[in-house]
Chains A and B, each alone.
Chain A
């Protein structure tokens, strides 16, 4: 503690992205999403049309409760682990270590946006299609259970995880808060609580299913906040340039 670690001669530039790590994230998320989608294909039409039937409880409400338990457990474990294993000597890490941790942060961000795609694009628009084949008799439809209470909590898990990782592992983020990072994580996080407004509106006024109805615009405004990832990268990039500067001016052809 306190002693700056010696710079070693290890070449850190190889394998920074961690192709294996990225591939694992990619395929785990993909497999999870496909599993949800297949489950819907199999059981939505058969067991998901009438929420007052006993089989709806078995196939859909039980899925909902299972998801809730798994999500709360996963959030407690992942976030708790990140905080528990925080680097208590974070201001004394080597430049090599800091560079590698930046790429780990970027892997977290990749997991975050890869799930955001499934939530905000795939399953969100899927909900529009289900609204057109049923007149819903519950707030917990087969598409809502997966979208609001399955996929959205997943990206919140990854988003907050990325924030905690940076806060506990990277000197730049440990000593102060990045406002664009807060916005890019907290805004999409708030899409889930905004379901409160949405269902309240749908429950007390029959809004038909106009998808562009004003009751949905809360989601839109919160979706805009994902653009703040641009600001975050504008904070990350100068630091990485500092970490990769060379003693003397060298130029190399980067066009390959």
Chain B
């Protein structure tokens, strides 16, 4: 087709076209991230995120950071490599939280009638801010992957501590010790979640009492490092501009 002729003639028109493009592309990016990231997250770590009595010291702390880093890493590649925009992780996590909160309030509370403090989602913004900041400061996927992802895993539980601590106060209920969270799970009946499929820490003979959260968080950070690099690669693969004549 040779040289492409321009559709405009003045700088003012160019400016207007660019602004128009910006204003329509932003909602598109936000909406697709909410949709795609939410379905990924709810079907990999959703059960721990839905219920206050699944937010334990071992599984929740391990699984959430690992599966949560997939999309932030992919968007780090797309946004940073192509546009030098340093907010891929924060956009992902804020979008996920927006989608979760709408659904929890309108569906879990408004339709299924669970109390909101039973179905409150995990807090994930602090991790995202750190991951983005490390990328912005280091300007390196390698440094972000190794250091940022480790911090990402380590600060997940502390970030949520203030929210879940009130539910870990013990109560004596019919002669048994339960946490408030356990009691809520016991009281508000879930037909699809009998007690035996609740995947939470139950203790082992090789566990040494107080070290559960630190060990889990450290392990989550370690696996997040690998997940980060894999997902930067997947982000790169999906951002490839391939054209073919026919399939």
Contacts and interface: CB of A to CB of B under 8 A. Distances in A.
A77 interface: no
B20 interface: yes
A240 B193 contact: no
Interface string A169-205: 0010000111110110000000000000000000000
B192 A122 contact: no
A169 B15 CA distance: 25
Contact of A125 (B25, B31, B107): B107
Which 5 pairs show the lowest CB-CB distances between chains A and B?
A: A209-B192, A95-B7, A120-B35, A226-B36, A13-B13
B113 to A, nearest CB: 8
Given A171-B1, A208-B197, A252-B11, A217 B24 contact: no
Interface string B5-20: 1111111111111101
A122 B71 CA distance: 19
A184 B156 CA distance: 31
A40 B242 CA distance: 43
A122 B193 CA distance: 21
A134 B191 CA distance: 6
B206 interface: no
Interface in B36-74: 36, 38-40, 42-48, 50, 63, 70-71, 74
A22 B24 contact: yes
User: For the side of the interface on A, what is the size category?
Assistant: 35 or more
A223 B36 contact: yes
Contact of A7 (B5, B46, B107, B239): B5
Nearest to A209: B192
A129 to B, nearest CB: 4
Contacts of B23: 17
A13 B14 CA distance: 7
B208 interface: no
Given A16-B17, A22-B24, A211-B50, A124 B239 contact: no
A97 to B, nearest CB: 8
B70 to A, nearest CB: 8
Interface string A40-70: 1100100000000000000000000000000
9 contacts: A14-B16, A17-B24, A109-B28, A121-B39, A122-B107, A133-B112, A135-B192, A229-B28, A254-B15
A56 B45 CA distance: 33
B193 A209 contact: yes
B36 A234 contact: no
Given A122-B102, A208-B192, A243-B7, A106 B28 contact: yes
A1 interface: no
Nearest to B16: A13
A126 B234 contact: no
Nearest to B5: A95
Contacts of A81: none
Contacts of B21: 16, 103, 106, 240
A211 B47 contact: yes
B236 to A, nearest CB: 10
Contacts of B20: 13, 16-17, 103
A227 B43 contact: no
A23 interface: no
Contact of B241 (A99, A220, A234): A234
